[in-house]
Structure 1
């Protein structure tokens, strides 16, 4: 019975080569992660900057539209005052 187990252990050892986690493997994994991070982090940074700039642009656009509406109201008020002033000047 033990001969069978020894034979199976030897066959298993030949079929499935067990890889040990040595320093070279560890270094390879670290370099791979650094390589992936080199491409991932700049993309994240650029995407974040675009997002914040678009928020600022949207905020400024809302303020611009508000100021345009205020300008229209003030212009209408000025025209009304000019009209009243012209009518009052012609009466006296």
Structure 2
């Protein structure tokens, strides 16, 4: 498996907003399956970022096209060489 950073660009309208609950269901399922590591959407512009695990770029499209919002998406997909975050670190010790 390779790790990818997916930048998602979209425009919001009423139809888009009506599909968000179903979209969130797909995203939650992909997170639970370990396909998506992180998912973030900007509060200010029609842009989001998804860190995903997949065998190749067509696999990214295959996973995301399950979303009812896929038709609204313009994607930029970059394979990552290095990915590090607090999630991959030991938890901080708290002394009581």
TM interval, short-chain normalised: under 0.3
Compute the TM-score of the two structures, normalised by the length of structure 2. Answer: 0.20
Higher fraction of helix: 1
Higher fraction of strand: 2
Greater radius of gyration (CA): 1
Q: Which has the higher contact order (CA 8 A, sep 6+)?
A: 2
